[in-house]
């Protein structure tokens, strides 16, 4: 049942109730809604997230290395009227006012998922990177790696925390936001490369 639900969500990211239609299109008979809810509770309590994370790490480590990881964040909104402890109204790039959650994803250099985190919808994106990196390091007993993130993660506090954790990092940013000395150096470096 859990496998069917995962496949349905991969084929078409839709609601738990609408998974029946997706599974029917795939020729599968869906379990009842109450069975799905019970199964999801068991999956949460069963520590499957840790097992999946361990399997993903083993695959990534055997196919290459995890010395370079990439991190990004997105939000998922819910068509719900009321907030709860997780689904909160927060900053939305799409300017939505629906409750949402913040999802952080850490991948290897090929884009293979290594760690995922879910945060309250009103949590600032910049505050998610350090907890995910620390969780990943602790889970796999890692010390050395380079973390790549986009300009959305660019905050002095984050960079300081990553530095204090002994992590090397690459943060993408627009040239116009770079310090003056870097803005002057970049065009010179580009000319030298030509």
CATH of domain 64-193: 3.90.350.10
Nearest to 125 by CA among 157, 78, 98, 96: 157
Looking at per-residue pLDDT, the higher value among 125 and 25 belongs to: 25
**pLDDT of the residue at 106:** 93
Helix H or strand E segment including 148: strand 146-149
Residue 192 pLDDT greater than 70, yes or no: no
Q: What is the mean pLDDT of residues 156-165?
A: 78
Nearest to 131 by CA among 95, 100, 103: 103
pLDDT tens, residue by residue, 26-79: 998 888 878 877 877 887 787 788 888 899 999 999 988 888 899 998 888 777
Domain boundaries, the chain: 1-46, 64-193
Q: What is the mean pLDDT of residues 126-131?
A: 85
- Whole-prediction pTM: 0.70
Residue 97 pLDDT greater than 70, yes or no: yes
Nearest to 64 by CA among 113, 105, 108: 108
Residues 6+ apart with CB under 8 A from 155: 126
């Amino acid at each position: 049942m859990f496998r069917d639900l995962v496949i349905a969500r991969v084929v078409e990211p839709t609601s738990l109730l609408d998974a029946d239609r997706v599974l029917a299109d795939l020729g599968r008979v869906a379990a009842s809604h109450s069975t799905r809810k019970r199964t999801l509770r068991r999956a949460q309590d069963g520590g499957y997230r840790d097992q999946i994370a361990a399997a993903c790490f083993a695959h990534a480590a055997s196919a290459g290395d995890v010395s370079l990881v990439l991190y990004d964040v997105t939000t998922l909104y819910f068509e719900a009227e009321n907030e709860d402890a997780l689904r909160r109204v927060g900053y939305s790039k799409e300017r939505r006012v629906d409750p949402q959650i913040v999802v952080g994803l850490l991948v290897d250099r090929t884009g293979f998922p290594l760690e995922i985190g879910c945060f309250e919808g009103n949590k600032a994106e910049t505050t998610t990177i350090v907890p995910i990196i620390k969780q990943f390091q602790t889970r796999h007993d890692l010390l050395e790696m380079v973390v790549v993130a986009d300009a959305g993660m660019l905050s002095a506090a984050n960079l300081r925390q990553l530095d204090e954790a002994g992590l090397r990092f690459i943060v993408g940013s627009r040239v116009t936001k770079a310090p003056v000395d870097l803005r002057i150096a970049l065009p010179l470096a580009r000319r030298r490369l030509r």
